[in-house]
Structure 1
Amino acid sequence: MATINANGIQLHYEIEGEGPPLLLISGLGGHSGVWATVKPLLTPHYKVITFDNRGTGQSDVPPGPYTIDQMGDDAAALIEGLGLGPVHVVGWSLGGSVLQSLLIRHGRLLRRAVLLSAFPSYTAVQDGWLDCLLSLKRSDVSPIAQAIIGMAWGFTPRFLFDHDFVEAAARVGVEQDPTPVTTEGFEAQAHGLRRYDSRVDLPTVATPTLVLIGAEDTLTPPAQSVEMAALIPGAKLQILPRGGHGMVLEYTQDTVGAILAFLGDAA
């Protein structure tokens, strides 16, 4: 296990592969292990850095609430502390919000950015979804049941129709998680997520950016990606014809292919 003091806390990180540095930022409550099926497709081309955001995994869980800018500063401190900048960055879901903060406040550290299944600000529906997740976290509902409920918003019907798959995926996600996110860490991240609004500042972004979304994403609908792409100067919008909020897990080859094509243009 590797750790680094970044922005006043200890962050757990891992580095694999050779090539230009590529940082992957996880979503709400997610640890670096969520990228396990993605990394083998990236490491032949890039030095891939994954890390646990504050409040999750093996990183510190300082008292909350957190802000997205605070988490963006964590990522910036990680990049600088490892001497890696400028780097390519992919941010998924909450990780996309953290990446927007990086783009706005630490653009000098970035080479190219991919906003994956992201959004510029929360809607009332997303707020309600988060309230439900928080209620489950505070309850005695089993972790596997919580995972199944979460997957209903993350996966498309093609996968949800297969209940054996859903149950197996939930069990793997829970049973192979060495450090489940605490209620305190989850709540602290959620506080910052629902309050973040990047729309005023996105027009200041100067980093080449791909806004990547699945056409079947019901949690962060494509309209939000269209809005982000319109606000970021020169941004490229790509809507994959299939895939929901978890398309990087559902359709890994398609998603990674789009990422590699965009990053490869920088070569």
Structure 2
Amino acid sequence: MITLDNRGIPPTSECPEGFTLQDMVGDVAGLVEHLGIGPCRVVGTSLGAFITQELALSRPDLVRRAVLIATRGRTDMLRAAITRAEIELHDAGVELPARYAAVVRALKSLSPRTLDDGEAMADWLDLFELSPAAGPGQRAQMDLSTLDHRLGAYRGIRVPCQVIAFADDLITPAHLAREVADAIPGAEYELIEGCGHYGYLEDPATVNKVMVEFLTGAVAR
């Protein structure tokens, strides 16, 4: 398995001057070509899923199968408002207390099942509190959250795709992920209950099971 640090996030260049989603798609394509491993299986979550679905569309020669976790193909009213609010907060130079920022992140990213588990929440809050503050590269990534309406374009994807959604996801809700699966011809759709946006960490066993079955072609659906 090969992972990469997207541009904007150290140790990769922060690119504070900004970049586009297509720049990030080009980064992944360049890595696959540099390593000589295409076509390969590609997995992305959230912004990584946006990159993966665009890569499957523009460079199908590099993608054998694609898994799109917690994705969407358009920006609705609430997601647009969240992005604008986060950008305005960052640009105002307001630095939230670390513990407060950790609590907000938990409420946005985790399921009620996890939020109600006191022992688990102690660990999650400690982890979030230790996370570094947003730098210039993360600010550039915020602009990419306002995704253009791409569902029509995704009807042109021809590589096998699986969309994994989480029932309690507030950031990329399941109904928006379902739209992506419906747009991509032949795409499989998996809805995992009891998970929020970080469902791959809340229930890794279930996520890994359905993902590996798809990537290996172990289950015909």
1:214 CA drift (Å): 1.6
1:235 pairs, out of 187, 192, 206, with: 187
- 1:113 equivalenced with 2:66 (yes/no): yes
TM, length-normalised to structure 2: 0.89
- 1:187 equivalenced with 2:139 (yes/no): yes
More helix by share: 2
| Equivalent position SS for 1:243 | coil
Q: What does residue 212 of structure 2 align with?
A: 260
Identify if the C-alpha distance between structure 1 residues 253 and 119 changes in structure 2 by more than 3 Å, giving closer, same or farther: same
> Which deviations, in whole Å up to 9, do the C-alpha atoms of 1:171-209 show, x marking residues without a partner?
22453x5xx364311121111221433222101101100
C-alpha RMSD of the superposition: 2.0
Q: Is the 8 A contact 2:65 2:159 kept in 1?
A: yes
Distance, in Å, in 2 between the alignment partners of 1:266 and 1:188 is 39
2:160 pairs, out of 198, 201, 208, with: 208
Q: Which has the higher contact order (CA 8 A, sep 6+)?
A: 2
> Which deviations, in whole Å up to 9, do the C-alpha atoms of 1:108-148 show, x marking residues without a partner?
10010011010001111112222343345441213443232
Distance, in Å, in 2 between the alignment partners of 1:82 and 1:58 is 19
Distance, in Å, in 1 between the alignment partners of 2:142 and 2:125 is 21
1:157 pairs, out of 85, 99, 112, with: 112
1:74 pairs, out of 27, 33, 36, with: 27
Distance, in Å, in 1 between the alignment partners of 2:193 and 2:128 is 26
1:160 CA drift (Å): 1.1
| Equivalent position SS for 2:43 | strand
1:141 pairs, out of 96, 102, 106, with: 96
More strand by share: 1
Gaps of 5+ in 2: none
Q: Which one is further off, 60-69 or 96-105?
A: 60-69
- 1:60 equivalenced with 2:34 (yes/no): no
> Which deviations, in whole Å up to 9, do the C-alpha atoms of 1:69-117 show, x marking residues without a partner?
1111111111111222111111101111111110111111001001101
Gaps of 5+ in 1: 1-47
| Matched letter for residue 114 of structure 2 | F
Distance, in Å, in 2 between the alignment partners of 1:135 and 1:162 is 32
TM, length-normalised to structure 1: 0.75
Q: Is the 8 A contact 1:57 1:181 kept in 2?
A: no
Q: What does residue 7 of structure 1 align with?
A: none
How many residues are aligned here? 217
2:148 pairs, out of 166, 172, 196, with: 196
Distance, in Å, in 1 between the alignment partners of 2:208 and 2:99 is 28
Moved over 4 A (4+): none
